[in-house]
Structures are given as structure tokens and as C-alpha cells.
Amino acid sequence: MGITETKLKDCFILEPQVFQDPRGYFFESFNQKSFFEATGQHVNFIQDNETFSSKGVLRGLHFQTGNFAQAKLVRVIKGRVLDIAVDVRQDSSTFGEYQTIELSEDNKKQFFLPRGFAHGFVVLSDTAIFAYKCDNYYNKESEAGIIYNDPTLNIDWQLSENELLLSDKDKMLPTFEAFFK
């Protein structure tokens, strides 16, 4: 498995070695030992989640705070998404910076976000199945987020505003500046 460091401190792109033959394909999607040896990051994933969404669905930018912060390993099983990580660790050298990556069923890339990152994605294909591993359980009282169209971050979601589909809750998230006052 190839593991590449991103411009964001402690975020990594994982590219598995895919073995294909006439029957289909196989790949190892995660190996804790190899991941630790390549990144120095020790994670113990305890929960797997999956979403199904149609084109234009934007989920994010979400994160958990305090003792319920979550590291995530995300990937696309079917379709194509633009995935976003925003460093919200105030003591980090990359605080307030973000990274985008296209994840798809074809490229099979995965994106690792350590604790302290806001996360979101938008579906670029007609539909997408998106899966992610978490190293901590969800806690409603610890959920937080930043509005997708935050003027400070100025993220290009690659779709026009009228193509985006958001939950009512995601439309009401605070700006980056308001959250970190």
C-alpha cells in the first residue's frame, strides 16, 4: 500500500495495491501495522459507517470535539466524491488549512484524517456509496461543524450552488471565524 503525506500535518492518502483478474479484484483496505510503520499514527478503529447519496449531496463540514474527537479513514465504494479535510486543531501549524481529494470506485484512494479535523464531501457522480472508519464513538453533545460555504476557507466544491443538496442542519452551521472566536 502506498501512503502519501498531504500538505496538512498528520493527514495521509492511502493507495492500496489492487490485484485484478477475470474474476474481479482484491485489495487490503487497511493494515494497522503497515499504517503505523508508514505514518507513526496509532489508531484503533472501532466503528464503520456507510452512506448512500445522490449527485450534489454535500455532507459537512463535521467534527466531534473534546474526548469524542474522531480520526477517520474514508473511501468510496461506488461512484465519485470530492472529499475535504479542514484542520481545526488550534495548536497545529496547518490550522485553518484544508485539503481536497477526489475519491472514487476507480482510484480506490483512501483519506486518513486524524482527530481534530472537520470533514465533508460532495457527490460528483449520479450516486455514491461512501464508507468510513472511526476511532471513537459518535456523541451527539460533542458534534460540531463549519458551514460549507465559509468565506474564510473559500472551498471550491466543484459544483454550482444550485446543484448542492444539504441537510437543514448543515445549512445552519457557523462560520470558521464564529466557531473559533
Our CA dihedral for 62, 119, 110, 4, rounded to 10 degrees, sits at: -150
Q: Please enumerate in sequence order all residues whose Cβ is within 8 A of that of 31, keeping only pairs 6 or more positions apart, or say none.
A: 1
Residues 62, 98, 119, 148: which is the catalytic one?
62
| 62 has catalytic annotation | yes
- DSSP H or E segment with residue 127: strand 127-134
Q: Of 165, 8, 24, 30, nearest to 99 (Cα)?
A: 8
98, 119, 132, 148: which one is catalytic? 132
- Which residue, chain included where needed, has cell 472514487? 104
* Residue for grid cell 503525506: 5
Q: Is residue 159 reached through a cis peptide bond, with omega within 30 degrees of 0 on the bond before it?
A: no
Which residues are part of the catalytic machinery? 62, 132
